[in-house]
Amino acid sequence: MSKPYIIIPYMQALLSTTYFGPVQWYQKLCRYDSVLIERCESYRKQTYRNRCIIAAANGPQALTVPVERTGDGSRLLTRDVRISDHGNWRHLHWHALMSAYSESPFFDYYADDLRPFYEKRWEFLCDFNEAICATVCSLLDIHPDVHSTDSYVDAASCLTPAEAHAGHNVGDAEAHCGGLVDLRDAIDPKHPADDPDFTARPYYQVFERRHGFLPNLSILDLLFNMGPEGIFWLVK
């Protein structure tokens, strides 16, 4: 008697672009068959699109890439957002990283690969973030299938993380249709939506004795503290 034919759905994650995004964001690159980066949404401030959070001596510290405003106050698509040179931010960010991670086990190991992002001027935020993602993936030795949107993806056409999670648990391909899972709102520094597939697993942090474990920080925190072994916090 032949075995029943089992359909293994093709799962794709829809993510927003990020500036050295959190561990949760990079986990999706490892756990989904492919990833679609949203470039055609209206740009939102105070998100991981231009902000990362690191573990500094005094606790969590946000590093924000300044962006240019439109002269008429109109909203821009994320793909059209330009980086501003206001405030010598590149120098300030690199100095903050050195202050926070110079004593971490792998800062010196990766510094030469990451310093160029703070030496070169980039025009568009999306291009900057895309180059960062490619470099981080190379350093972690992960090879995700990443693409960008050509038009805005309506949330109504996607599955929520909870729906996708339920489909995986029951093993019902029809429950989640092998579809696109919208994680744009799930990965947010201030008001994250529910993501049942993500649990922040503790790892070594330089200032852990002072602040306790700080979950879901920038991928830089995992990289500088755990080095090549950081991949095990993404794939499991």
DSSP 24-55: HHHHHHHHSSEEEEE-SSBP-SSSTTSEEEEE
State the virtual CA torsion across 122, 123, 129, 133 in degrees, nearest 10: -50
Arithmetic mean of pLDDT, 58-83: 90
Distance CA 194, CA 183 (A): 9
**Mean pLDDT score across all residues of the chain:** 91
Question: Is pLDDT of 169 > 80?
Answer: no
Tokens of 86: 């206001």
Arithmetic mean of pLDDT, 152-169: 86
Question: Is pLDDT of 170 > 80?
Answer: no
State residue 121's pLDDT score: 95
Query: pTM value?
Result: 0.90
State residue 74's pLDDT score: 73
Pairing assessment for the beta strands 59-64 and 51-56 based on DSSP bridges: antiparallel
**159 vs 168: which has the higher pLDDT:** 159
In the chain, the percentage of residues whose pLDDT exceeds 90 is: 81
State residue 87's pLDDT score: 87
Coil, helix or strand at residue 128? helix
Query: Which residues on adjacent β-strands are paired with residue 54?
Result: 61
- Helix residue spans in the chain (DSSP H): 23-31, 89-101, 107-114, 125-140, 161-170, 173-176, 208-211, 219-226, 232-235
Distance CA 123, CA 145 (A): 25
Question: Is pLDDT of 174 > 60?
Answer: no
Our CA angle for 232, 205, 189, nearest 5°, is 80
Q: With beta carbons less than 8 A apart as the criterion, state whether 12 and 181 touch.
A: yes
Arithmetic mean of pLDDT, 79-86: 94
Question: Is pLDDT of 85 > 80?
Answer: yes
Smallest CA-to-CA distance from 47 within 62, 60, 59 is with 62
State residue 71's pLDDT score: 65
State residue 72's pLDDT score: 65
Task: Please state the domain extents for the chain.
Answer: 12-235
pLDDT band at 111 (very low <50, low <70, confident <90, very high): very high
Residue 212 CB contacts under 8 Å (≥ 6 apart), including other chains: none
pLDDT band at 10 (very low <50, low <70, confident <90, very high): confident
In the chain, the percentage of residues whose pLDDT exceeds 70 is: 90
pLDDT band at 7 (very low <50, low <70, confident <90, very high): very low
Question: Is pLDDT of 32 > 90?
Answer: yes
State residue 178's pLDDT score: 53
